[in-house]
Structures are given as structure tokens and as C-alpha cells.
Amino acid sequence: MGRRRLPIKELRLMRAIWLEQFGDPSVLVPGAAPDPVPEAGEVLVAVEFAGITFVETQFRATGAGPFKGELPMVPGNGVAGTVTAVGAGTDPALLGRRVVSSTGGSGGYAERVAVPATGVFEVPDGLALDEAMALLADGRTAVLQLRAVRPAAGERVLVEAAAGGVGSLLVQLAKAAGAEVVAAAGGPRKLALARELGADEVVDYREADWTGQVAPVDAVFDGVGGAIGRAAFELLGAGGRMVSYGLASGEWAAIPARTAAARGVALVTGERTPAALRDATEYALAEAAAGRLRPVIGQRFPLAEAAAAHAAIESRATVGKTLLEVGAPPRAER
């Protein structure tokens, strides 16, 4: 979050979560932060829900990952809420709109955040704000991986962490594309959820030799990496595709290009252009609004309990998306 110098009499405060040092979840501490003021081209969002991704727990722990920020900072990369103010030169028609937006990596665990107007997504009618929040990052990520792999109807695909935020959406998207879905996850509760979401087969990769229980597959969605990602790779044959988009295990699968080529497997990656990211997000929101994609909100925590939410995620105790409940809708909206 940028710190602005304001004369004392203008300084207004809001509730937020501070990250003062990297470490275990207890480093996330509730406190007060200066109320953001939207600058030119920005909108102010009154936050109802903030999303937490697995990557955010890794950033909090070590400072590593895609986010940057000088400590102390207010973390949080995704918000859902209502636009309550606009900066100079920003379209006033955005006022009162229900939106979701990334923050660029900081400022999300707070009552209000100023974000570029060009980066917000209006929440389609028929989609609740919390559902839109559950889809913002995870839906975009899942759609981009699906588009990289392009499963054909009837192909067998394996989804790792299939009950997680991204995984629970990938199971549904791959199924909708006509694929036969093998859901891999840890424990019976997660496997049951994957089945409910449409998986044809399930396998618990906490069991030794779990790949021995699975017939070969045409594609692997690898969000876990490490030993699980490498074992999943062994299920692929000529013409197979593997997309590695995460390292929940703490380590990328890191399949050497030569090993993949020798097997006839393509290591593919999701497109990362701003246009592709925007299109994937809009697609996920539209599919959910149309009732074809179901975001799974597994856990909700009050803003002040962000530390407990992080602890739950990194202990692998969560399913689907974890949200922070931040504020009520602005009065005019109720």
C-alpha cells in the first residue's frame, strides 16, 4: 500500500491487517491504516470480501513469490466490493458498481482500497459478490491452464489439488470441455468434493504408489509440483501435455525439457498477456453467472482473523476458496 502524506486533520483511518515481518501466520496483525484516497484514474472500493490465495501464504512466510512490497505493508491481492469514490478523470458511472479487482499484491486485507479503474471487473448480474471474489484469481488461473492444455472431448486429464481453489474450478472446466477427469487430492473429504464437482475418478496422492492406481492420462494440471508433480508426469505418454502452474508443495515439478521431449510430452504454459488475463477472468465470471461454473467457498473468516485463515490454508485444512469477510455493503446498496 502506498503511504500518502496527509495533513493530520485529514487523516482518516480504517481497519486493516498489517504484515510487519515475514513469518508464521501470527505476523498478520489487525490494526489501523490510513484511508486510501483514489488518485487520477483510480476508484475507491469499499471492500466486502478479500480473497486469500495459497501464494499469499507463501509470500507472508518468506517474502518470496510474485508480490513486492516494503514492510510494513497491508497484504492482500484480491477484493470484492462497491465503488464509493472515483479519482480525477475517472468515469463517475463506476460509482455504486459491484466490482472485483486485483490490487497488485498489497492493500487487499482492508476496509477500503484504491485500485486502477482499468483493472476492475464489474460483477455480472446473478453472481453474488462473494462468488465473484472466489473466482477472480482462481477462475482466471484455471481458465488459463485449461486454454493451455486444450483437452479434447474424451481425453483423460489429471487435476492435482483438485479440491482447492484453482483445482475445484479446473475439475469443472475440464469436465465441461468433455474430458474424463481424474481428481487427485489429499484425503477423503477432498476426494468427495471433487466427485461432487464432476470428477470421474479420484485418487488420494497421500497414499504410497498412488500413480499405480491411475491409468495413463493425456494431460496433467500440476498446481502442487515437487514429488507429486513429478509422479503425475509419469502418467503421461506421447502426445501428452503438462501445465505446471504452482508449487503448493514448496517446489516446482521442474521436469527437464529433454525428459519431456524424450517422452513426447509438451510442457505448456498459460498465456500471461494482460488481454489473456482479462479475457479469462471475464469468462470465469460469465460462466458462473450462467450457472455453468460453481465457485466453492469453503471457509470464511472475519478480517481480524486473517492469521487463522492463513494457518488453515497452509495446513492443508481448507477446501475451495478462503475468504475474509471485511465489511457490509455501503448503506445505499442495502
Ligand X SMILES: NC(=O)c1ccc[n+]([C@@H]2O[C@H](COP(=O)([O-])OP(=O)(O)OC[C@H]3O[C@@H](n4cnc5c(N)ncnc54)[C@H](OP(=O)(O)O)[C@@H]3O)[C@@H](O)[C@H]2O)c1
Binding positions for ligand X, rule: CB under 6 A: 53-55, 137-138, 141, 161, 163-167, 185-186, 190, 223-224, 245-250, 316, 318
CB of 313 to ligand X, least distance (A): 6
Give me the least distance between CB of 85 and ligand X, in Å please: 28
Q: Helix 188-196 vs helix 165-176: angle between axes, to the nearest 10 degrees?
A: 40
Distance CA 214, CA 162 (A): 15
DSSP string, 229-270: HHHHHTTEEEEEEEEE---TTSB-----HHHHHHHT-EEE--
Q: How far is the CB of 101 from ligand X (least distance, A)?
A: 14
Our CB check for ligand X shows the closer of 101 and 249 to be 249
- The residue sitting closest to ligand X, measured at its beta carbon, is 164
What are the residues whose beta carbons fall under 8 Å from the beta carbon of 15, sequence distance 6 or more? 30, 31, 32, 33, 110, 111, 303, 304
- Spatial separation of the C-alpha atoms in residues 101 and 94, rounded to whole Å: 13
5/272 with CB nearer ligand X: 272
Question: Minimal distance in Å, beta carbon 145 to ligand X?
Answer: 9
The three grid cell numbers given for residue 238, joined into one nine-digit string? 506421447
Residue 18's DSSP bridge partners are 29
Task: For the CB of residue 274, give the shortest distance to ligand X in the complex, in Å.
Answer: 15
Looking at beta carbons only, is 38 or 59 nearer to ligand X?
A: 59
8 A C-beta contact, residue 322 and residue 200: no
Output 46 or 173, the one with its CB closest to ligand X.
173
Q: Which residue in 119, 169, 125 sits closest to 143, CA to CA?
A: 169
Between 109 and 245, CB nearer to ligand X: 245
> Given the complex with ligand X, which of 200 and 314 has the nearer CB atom?
314
Q: List Cβ neighbours of 145 (8 Å cut-off, separation of 6 or more).
A: 166, 170, 221, 243, 245, 270
Closest distance between ligand X and the C-beta of residue 183, in Å? 9
Question: Which helix (H) or strand (E) is 78 found in, with range?
Answer: strand 78-86
Closest approach of ligand X to the CB of residue 90, in Å: 27
Contacts with 255 (C-beta within 8 Å, 6 or more apart), sequence order:
229, 230, 233, 242, 244, 265, 267
CB of 223 to ligand X, least distance (A): 3
CB-nearer residue toward ligand X: 46 or 120? 120
Cβ atoms of residues 157 and 235 within 8 Å = no
Q: How far is the CB of 142 from ligand X (least distance, A)?
A: 8
Report d(CA 53, CA 58) in Å as an integer: 9
In whole angstroms, what is the distance from residue 205 CA to residue 228 CA? Answer: 7
Closer to ligand X by Cβ: residue 16 or 134:
134
Q: State how far the Cα of 58 lies from the Cα of 56, in Å rounded to an integer.
A: 5
Nearer to ligand X, 120 or 183 (CB): 183
